[in-house]
Amino acid sequence: MPKLYRLVDLGPDRIAVWMEDIDADPSSWSPSRFARAAELLGELAGNRSDPAPWAGSDRPPSYGLQRYAGGPARAAIKIIADDATWRHPVLAAHAALRGDLLELANRVPALLDLACSAPQALPHGDASPQNLLVPYGEPDTFVAIDIAFQTPHAIGFDLAQLLVGLVQASSRQ
């Protein structure tokens, strides 16, 4: 985590934060860097798997995942179900994928139940490469920023965002 210098409460739902400025290396990530980040995210979750710190949370297990499934994922399913999507030149050749994706979409409630019943821990919550800064000259070091969803989630929750974060931000295909 970056060093925290000061917090100032600005009133309801607002806070000012002064923290260390990280001089991050903007170079592309290699497969080994992704692997190292995944390993460290697993250690983070393992170190935060004791239920005592999150016992006071007012959110249910896998809250962030449930919120995602009810919002962005639902919107994506509508796009997948739309015939016009599969007429797009980039997707037309892959139209057979549509049925598999819609079948998977029908399994979302059962998959959410499974995630909620799996061992839980506090994840980073938004572990895309953009939120795991690599300081210049320290290629094996990560500084975690923009931590989110500090409610219990299935161990491994962070891996999805680690893998698709750059694609979601249109930084990689």
pLDDT at 38 over 90: yes
Q: What is the mean pLDDT of the chain?
A: 88
Q: pTM higher than 0.85, yes or no?
A: no
Residues of the chain with pLDDT > 90, as a percent, come to: 43
- Give the count of domains, the chain: 1
Average pLDDT over residues 149-157: 84
Buried b (16+ CB within 10 A) or exposed e, 135-150: eeeeeeebbbbeeebb
Assigned domain for 173 exists: no
Assigned domain for 134 exists: yes
Assigned domain for 85 exists: yes
Assigned domain for 82 exists: yes
pLDDT per position as a tens digit, 114-134: 988 888 888 888 899 999 999
Residues of the chain with pLDDT > 70, as a percent, come to: 96
pLDDT of residue 62: 82
CATH of the domain at 158: 3.90.1200
Domain around 73: 4-168
pLDDT of residue 148: 79
Assigned domain for 158 exists: yes
In angstroms, rounded to a whole number, what is the distance separating the alpha carbons of residues 165 and 172?
9
pLDDT at 113 over 80: yes
pLDDT of residue 173: 44
pLDDT per position as a tens digit, 42-97: 998 888 888 887 777 778 778 888 888 888 888 889 999 999 999 999 899 998 99
pLDDT of residue 34: 94
Alpha carbons within 13 angstroms on the beta-carbon side of residue 26 total 1
